[in-house]
Amino acid sequence: MNRALAEAIVNELSSSKTKRLQPDIWRSFDEQAWNKTLDWLDLSGLALYLRQRLETTNGLGMVPSRVRQRLDRCESENRMRAAAMAEELKVLSEIFTGAGIEHIVLKGIALVPDYCPHPAIRTQYDYDFLICPDATKRTEKALRAAGYKRKNSESEHPIVYYRPEPNIRFAADFMGLYSQGLGRSIELHLSLWESSEDRIEIALTKDLFARAVRRRWQDFEYLSLNDEDALVFQVLHAFRHVLRNWCRLSVFLEIAYFLNRRSSDSLFWSRFTARIDKLCWVPEATMVVFGLAELLFGACIPEKIKAQFSSVSFAALALWIERYGRPSALANFRSNKYSLFLHREFVEDPAAWAGIRRQRLFPARRPHRPPMVVFQRGFSRWEELRIVALHALSRLKFHAISAFGYAWEYPKWLRCRRTRVLTYTKAAERAAGTLV
């Protein structure tokens, strides 16, 4: 990507008035700069958000015509895709309801309008449902009867299903990300947090269904998490992806959008703080996610929340955001393994941490296959094998370079961390002395 253009895009989407750009800035980026950045723009989930912002600020006519045409086509395709997904979601809900399966819709249209003004400007590749563990067998039976097949193993969670469909060769690679012809999977979550891989124990309350609310999108009524639990889920979803070295920038844009919409709702924030104060590690994860949303997109964090983030226990987290947050986020957290510094703050068992770090630095398992979107473009078998091989080589290169970068940065991080914690500790002691 062109770093200057990527920075300009993020700043343009920020709600901070100090970062907002003059429309003429877009004339300074030629077609070559855009061509280097378009893949990043698609993968970050920001393409349609940018198009909407440029349209409302009369900046769309200042980008190269081919780029403008591409964005227009993406918007048109995604609008049809969003409509098709809404219809399929209705069908899935009817399948579950017919089988007597209580289900909560996560993400997707459940994010409208609090996190996203309209589903047509948001890229979505799957459906997420929360179901009760005792409904797993009935849910899987219902999906199989409807023609869906399980994608992952019996031991993996969330449970993933998909509908087998013929391959499609799209006119251009980027269209596969927005076309309604691209297949979408179904993720069945048994809880909002799985601790097995990350070894971070977060025991969420078991009253999510009792607290759930009914919402409506056009003519479709569905069950959703209530506002506080929905925000907890968004925080944990973003946090998990940061730890695992892949999180789209649009996730933080959507959380920033929510924070700005609800920043003055004191009753909501009282309920939210009461909710997370009872949950181990959730306040810390919230600090990380809110901090990144503020750093990247100018999110307005309520003072009631921000006051909790000034204690010594949050010192290292604040340092990580300050030191690694923006450069890591601009690469969708895929260019380094500095998230390990963050992950360490949440794992108390030294033996468990040693295993996590060893596995993350030197993975023993075969690299994951590229996303399904890659293989739904009608490639031949030989083309698919070539893509898989190149992907595996790129992952090996990433692990080698990023492991070296982690080792090089590690002593610097420890020194900075000690200094920051000491500074916070002294400030807390002075504050306590003043109170006395």
pLDDT at position 224 is 97
Q: Hunting for tokens 């909002």 — which residue is that?
A: 192
Contacts with 342 (C-beta within 8 Å, 6 or more apart), sequence order: 242, 243, 288, 317, 320, 324
Tell me the one-letter amino acid at 75. E
pLDDT at position 17 is 65
| Coil/strand/helix, residue 213 | strand
Contact 174, 42 (CB under 8 A): yes
Residue 131: which of 233, 232, 208 has the closest Cα? Answer: 208
Asked, as a colleague might, if the bond just before 363 is cis with ω within 30 of 0, I would say no
**Going residue by residue through the chain (436 aa), what tens digit of pLDDT does each one get?**
999 999 999 999 998 766 667 778 999 999 999 999 999 999 999 999 999 999 998 889 999 999 999 999 999 999 999 999 999 999 999 999 999 999 999 999 999 999 999 999 999 999 999 999 999 999 999 999 999 999 988 878 899 999 887 666 665 566 778 988 888 899 999 999 987 788 999 988 899 999 999 999 999 999 999 999 999 999 999 999 999 999 999 999 999 999 999 999 999 999 999 999 989 999 999 999 999 999 999 999 998 888 888 788 899 999 999 999 999 999 999 999 999 999 999 999 999 999 999 999 988 665 454 455 444 445 566 777 777 777 678 778 888 899 999 999 999 999 999 999 999 898 888 877 764 4
pLDDT at position 309 is 82
Contacts with 21 (C-beta within 8 Å, 6 or more apart), sequence order: 8, 11, 12
Residue 12: which of 51, 44, 42, 40 has the closest Cα? Answer: 51
pLDDT at position 436 is 45
**How much is the pTM?**
0.92
Residue 44: which of 341, 250, 299, 288 has the closest Cα? Answer: 250
